[in-house]
Amino acid sequence: MTSTSTATEPLFLRACRREPVERTPIWMMRQAGRYLPAYRAVRARASFLDLCHTPELATEVTLQPIDEYGFDAAILFSDILISLPPMGLEISFPDKGPVIGNPVRDRAAIDRLVVPDPVATMPFVMEAVRQIQRGLRGRAPLIGFAGAPFTLVTYAVEGGGSKEYAHTKGLLFGDPAAAHALLEKMADTVAAYLAAQVEAGVDAVQIFDSWAGILSPADFDEYALRWARHVIARLRAHPAVVARRVPIIYFVNGCAPYLDAYASSGADVLGVDWRIDIDRVRAAVGDGVALQGNLDPGVLYAPPAEIRRRVGDILAKAGPVGHIFNLGHGVQPHADPEHVRVMVQAVRELSARPGSTGP
Amino acid sequence: MTSTSTATEPLFLRACRREPVERTPIWMMRQAGRYLPAYRAVRARASFLDLCHTPELATEVTLQPIDEYGFDAAILFSDILISLPPMGLEISFPDKGPVIGNPVRDRAAIDRLVVPDPVATMPFVMEAVRQIQRGLRGRAPLIGFAGAPFTLVTYAVEGGGSKEYAHTKGLLFGDPAAAHALLEKMADTVAAYLAAQVEAGVDAVQIFDSWAGILSPADFDEYALRWARHVIARLRAHPAVVARRVPIIYFVNGCAPYLDAYASSGADVLGVDWRIDIDRVRAAVGDGVALQGNLDPGVLYAPPAEIRRRVGDILAKAGPVGHIFNLGHGVQPHADPEHVRVMVQAVRELSARPGSTGP
């Protein structure tokens, strides 16, 4: 996956760079997940954290959707919270969602957090990257990922998921200096962690700002985008990212209110959730970035003909250049695996360029 | 509150109609709620449903924020789900959020639901409206409300709140005809229920589409806006609404992706959540409607000077005509009552028009 010859580069990487493609590439957020019977079989004998911590198991489930559907990219099996324990936060994953045992709500707790060495503290991630690349044997590029600083802060401060984000807003608005100190530690951790993933061999990275959409536009700029930019700028300057032209994807779930700012993140690719039409995003952000998205994950509950119709609609709105097809958010556990196949097939057929050699 | 003389009409009603005002009126979603010590004192001796079902208690808590802050509008104490039991749905309110014991997930269950007579089945609401109006003695107009059809469908189908809305999306996309049959029953119920509230004496109504923001723009039009419009059109034609020029407010939480469609709802006032700048909403929807919003409820955790600064920012963006100040969503239980006072005072002072007789 380290070739720099455009002709032989994978579709996914070419689309990230807005280069010509024979057809639109597709992968799916949470493609290694509970909707897949093969994944559930592994989970029957190992916990979620076991999968994250055991390179052999992470490799097995990462490869499952590649074997099953031939997606155009693989994504490292892990969790956006996996970088928090080395900072000093205790996480667990009961069935109801992640829990942080020692949430961070004041300056003293923030000051106690460390910016860890990612290779020393998360060797299992780097080893998983190497094993996955061996297992992929060039079939698809591998995406590494991390949580964005703001999104990680919401978990660290709330102690898990939240509805109202009262503690987070209390910190941001009650003590902005402390909030920025925490965001900076998160950003430094994430930047080093993603750089280590690139050094271990991932071909692209995605930064998930899953909860940036709870902010007003001014607060999005100040607390989410500013620190995502910090991570992106650090990565951009990293020798391995430069040498291998590793694309950087930034995904804000609920991006519609922030499009003007979103365009200036510095990322090569912007993720687009399903609540907004992708042609409106293109009109707002211009031609300088690729877009990734944006089928409503719930559309996988529709009959095949309707899935196909909606896939065609998104392909038409996104156009042939600089588009990576994806869901607008992670695939849901109850999605029908055969409907996923219908979606993949529809993207392949409906995006094939006349006269090209694809798919 | 039934006067038609503009000079003596309350600020809130004039702002809803885009008439001149001496200053911007303010009320607050969930202003009768847990952040108020007086409310918690009542809840210590009565359950949430007791408050909804007992006109004396509903009146007591509805008046509390009027007594405490002099808000420019009162809002009936009730719940958006209160119209579901007369349709045939069993609801309860444990501390974790509402639960519907018999969720509706197929055509047979939809066909069993009835469109109830609101006066016969919810007499406690109509009696609460009359008692509240007596208690208000003209101090502020009274807003009635209901859930929007789509939002009520999400609760009826999921059996409560949800993160992924898998059952709702399954119904919408898997059996659209059944989904519309359910939406139509909800819309007919809500239209009759709101008309009954107007006949009982409310001065304005608000339709809460709290969960319409989980839809793609095309699905918002098809499943949320279409049926909200149905309710609004029915209300518009109602003699008591016409005679008393009762303003209709439509609130979509997360409205940013749908602004073009939002403007065509038929409502007099559009609610605006905090994720989007209110001047952008004005630019998109034009001058035909009033706007209500949109301070981030989390800003009440900020110090007073910052609350004041942000209130001023919203007032400047919204302008003096056709604006009702509000939070962008309900006030949070941990908000400081003294910070609510700071917000109210800031709106009064910063929006006072030079040369007017206000506040």
Of A165, A168, A332, nearest to B166 by CB-CB distance is A332
Residues on chain B touching A328 (C-beta within 8 angstroms): 216
Per-position b or e across A126-163, b if 16+ CB within 10 A of its CB: bbbbebbbebbeeebbbbbbbbbbbbbbbbbbbbbebe
The answer to whether the CB atoms of B173 and A277 lie below 8 A apart is no
Whole-number pLDDT of residue B170:
95
Strands across the sheet with A323-327, in order? A74-75, A142-147, A204-209, A248-252, A269-271, A290-295, A323-327
Distance CA B169, CA A306 (A): 13
CA distance B35 to chain A (A): 13
Closest CA to A180 of A169, A172, A170, A192: A172
pLDDT for A244-274, tens place per residue?
Answer: 999 999 999 999 999 999 999 999 999 999 9
Q: How confident is the model at residue A279 (pLDDT cuts 50, 70, 90)?
A: very high
Per-residue tokens: A92: 């667990």
- ipTM of predicted complex: 0.94
Closest CA to A310 of A324, A327, A323, A322: A327
Long-range contacts formed by B1-6: CB under 8 A, 24+ apart: B1/B133, B1/B138, B1/B141, B1/B142, B1/B201, B1/B203, B2/B203, B2/B244, B4/B244, B4/B245
The pTM (predicted TM-score) of the whole model is 0.95
pLDDT for A17-39, tens place per residue?
Answer: 999 999 999 999 999 999 999 99
Q: Which of the residues of A are catalytic? A: 30, 34, 43, 79, 155
Q: How confident is the model at residue A7 (pLDDT cuts 50, 70, 90)?
A: low
Q: Which of the residues of B are catalytic? A: 30, 34, 43, 79, 155
Which residue in A has a C-alpha nearest to residue B174's C-alpha?
A302
Closest CA to A296 of B223, B185, B270: B223
Whole-number pLDDT of residue B96:
83
Please report, in tens digits, the pLDDT of each residue of chain B (359 residues total).
444 445 579 999 999 999 999 999 999 999 999 999 999 999 999 999 999 999 999 999 999 999 999 999 999 999 999 999 999 999 999 888 899 999 999 999 999 999 999 999 999 999 999 999 999 999 999 999 999 999 999 999 999 999 899 999 999 999 999 999 999 999 999 999 999 999 999 999 999 999 999 999 999 999 999 999 999 999 999 999 999 999 999 999 999 999 999 999 999 999 999 999 999 999 999 999 999 999 999 999 999 999 999 999 999 999 999 999 999 999 999 999 999 999 999 999 999 987 555 44
Whole-number pLDDT of residue A1:
43
CA distance A228 to chain B (A): 19
Distance CA A292, CA A337 (A): 21
Residues on chain B touching A298 (C-beta within 8 angstroms): 164-166, 168-170, 172-173
How high is the mean pLDDT of chain A?
A: 95
Q: State the Cα torsion B186-B53-B112-B153 to the nearest 10°.
A: 30
pLDDT for A76-108, tens place per residue?
Answer: 999 999 999 999 999 999 888 899 999 999 999
Q: How confident is the model at residue A8 (pLDDT cuts 50, 70, 90)?
A: confident
CA distance A273 to chain B (A): 9
Residues on chain A touching B328 (C-beta within 8 angstroms): 216
Of B173, B306, B332, nearest to A166 by CB-CB distance is B332
The answer to whether the CB atoms of B164 and A332 lie below 8 A apart is yes
Whole-number pLDDT of residue B329:
98
Residue range A102-120: mean pLDDT, rounded: 97
Residues on chain B touching A277 (C-beta within 8 angstroms): 216-218, 257
DSSP B353: P
Closest CA to B343 of B284, B274, B283: B274
Measured CB to CB, residues of chain B less than 8 Å from chain A are 164-166, 168-170, 172-174, 213-219, 254, 256-257, 274-277, 296-299, 301-303, 306, 328, 332, 334
